[in-house]
Amino acid sequence: METITDLITPAALLFSVCVFLVVLMMRRGVLALAPVFSEKKVWRDFLLPISPIVFGALAALLIQDYPYPDIVRSDATRVMFGMGAGLVAAHAYKTIKGSCEEWIKALGKSIKDRFKKDDGPPPDLPSID
C-alpha cells in the first residue's frame, strides 16, 4: 500500500530545496528591481505566501524527466507533488528566517552587553602591604 511516507525521498527533498532557492532569488530580485513592492499589502500577504506553491506546481508540471517518487505517475499527481514541495519550501523559509532573526538578535544583545560603558572607575582594591 502506498502511503505519504513514500513521497519523502532524497529527490523530493532536493526538489523542495530547489523550489526554496529559486523562489528566494525571485523575491530578492523583485525587491531589488522594484523596492516599492515591499510596501504593498498584496505582495506581502498574497503573492509571497503563494509563490512557492505556484512555482513548485509549475516546475513539477514542466519538468517531466525528474526522478519523482514512484507514486507520482500522472500530470495531476506531479502538480500536487509540486504544490506539496512548495509548501515545504515556504515553511522552511519562515523557519529559517525566524531562526536567523533570533540568532542575530541574541548576538547583537551579547555584543551590546559586552561593550557596555562602565558606571565609573573600578572600586579600590585592598592593598597587600
Query: Which amino acid, one-letter code, is at 40?
Result: K
- Taking the C-alpha atoms of residue 18 and residue 10, their distance in angstroms, rounded to an integer, is 12
Written as tens digits, the pLDDT of the chain (129 aa) is 567 777 788 888 889 889 989 998 998 898 899 888 888 888 888 988 899 999 999 999 999 888 888 888 889 999 999 999 999 888 887 888 888 888 888 888 887 777 766 555 566 666 675
Domain map (residue ranges) of the chain = 4-111
Closest CA to 43 of 31, 53, 32: 31
- Taking the C-alpha atoms of residue 81 and residue 12, their distance in angstroms, rounded to an integer, is 9
- Taking the C-alpha atoms of residue 60 and residue 66, their distance in angstroms, rounded to an integer, is 8
